[in-house]
Structure 1
Amino acid sequence: MRILLFGFLLLLISCGQTNSYEDRATIETASDYTGNDLKMDQQQMADGSAPPPPPPPPGENISAPVTKVIKTGSMAFGVEDLGVAKLGVDSLLAVNGAYYEKEEYRTAYRSVAYALTIRVPAANFETLLAALEAGTGTLTTKSISARDVTEEYVDLSIRLDNKLAYLEQYQTILKRARTIEEILEVQEKIRLIEEEIESKKGRLKFLDDRVGLSTLQLTLTEDTDAYVAEEPGVFSRAGKALLGGATNFLDVLIGLLYLWPFLLILVGLFFFRRPILNLFRRSKSS
């Protein structure tokens, strides 16, 4: 029995040593392989023969263009007190960083109104609309639109970059030009490219302005009982008629001045009518 137990223990010990030898060999082989690979990679990088890195995953390191949207709108309100309503709009514009691009006061039959063109930062456009609807007056009309100009903006930016690159190339060519003809030809190319660059820059600036600042057409109207804009009275119409008649009379006189040769002939015939008649009678009697 003791002999069997002793033999079993020897078997376990030998198996453990064998596994340790195999693990050690595996680790040494792996370390040798890693070192060889590292040396080979370094040599390839030094020689410039290393393969290019794998492409990035889809969507990585690709910056999408910023969305460019032009927001415009028009609103009309009926108000009880035009002055108070206008002051309320003034305060809303100050809070939202907006300003009046155009302000027009109108009077009509039994009504007075403000026609306002407002420029407001695009981020505050919806906030201003909500504030106007909440406390300005009775909303009568409303129209809001948004136009995406991202494609146009990106296209213009790419074309502008290309034109700038062309301009740099032609400026380099100009430095190498030798004859007057070559210089004039390259200068004409540069002039045309600079005109296109300025045109594209101007369009991009306009789009940036329209995207950054939204436009709102706002109308405030107050109905009144008084005749704010009355029809002209009888005396006013009579005065206009007299003035119009005098103007027409002067026009006729000026027109007659263009006929002065004919008038001169008629005046001569009037003053010399008797000698002419006597001469005519004598010739007839003879």
Structure 2
Amino acid sequence: MKNVVITGSTRGIGYGLAVEFLKKGCKVMISGRDQSKVDLLVSHLGEQFGKDKVVGLACEVSSAPALTALWQGAAAAFGQVDIWINNAGISIDRQPLHLQPAADLQRIVDTNLTAVLLANSIVLSGMLAQGSGQIWNMEGFGSNDATQPGMAAYGATKRAVTYLNKALQKEVKGTAVQVNTLSPGIVVTDLLLSDYDLKSEQWKKARKIFNILGDKVETVTPWLVEKILATDGSGAKVAWLTGGKAFRRFLTAGFNKRDLFADLPSAS
């Protein structure tokens, strides 16, 4: 099976993807900022799936040397890297741009855009040298031109990733390296919840939409991994929440009462 590296895989969607790849017999490199947390998860997953199946290394994704070390570590452990998923990302407080601190704006650009540029550069070089490989860059709110107040910075970084994918797909044409897009839709994670004051009116309105369009990690990630492993070609897009699916969910929302946040007392 495939050898997989996932940035930002100590929690949320990244961790869910890691587990599902391991279930499929793949080897996985876990990565996050905290080496102690990485080590803990590697030990836990190694007990479940085999110590030869999972390795881990802390990585600050906005650092080119750290990303290079992550690539080299995975290549040394696995022999080669077949799939690299740029999943790591952050959000900042949802508020008008002029109220967002400069440090937060710098941080979100560093993590959601600069890090993706650096990772693609390093991984493309490695995959071209080894003769094959797939890169999957993660979409998010703003990738399809959607806009909302308070989301200018986050949406701008994700819109830039859409451009990057299209440009890189032209650059790798004629090679055995593939650049593809992963779109998980609205998934209930700490990242999603961190955007809101869970006692606010804004959250009450958002919660209604999320309960229609959203899903939990364990629902989305098995499907995403199945589609990734079935993809052979550059320019592919694996999208969980399509326009058609969203339309059907709104049509049936009155009959399908979902509460994805029932186990979160602070979200009630």
* TM-score after normalising by structure 2: 0.20
Q: In terms of Rg, which structure is larger?
A: 1
* Higher RCO by CA contacts (8 Å cutoff, separation 6 or greater): 1
Q: Which structure has the highest strand share of the two?
A: 1
Q: Which structure has the highest helix share of the two?
A: 1
* TM-score after normalising by structure 1: 0.19
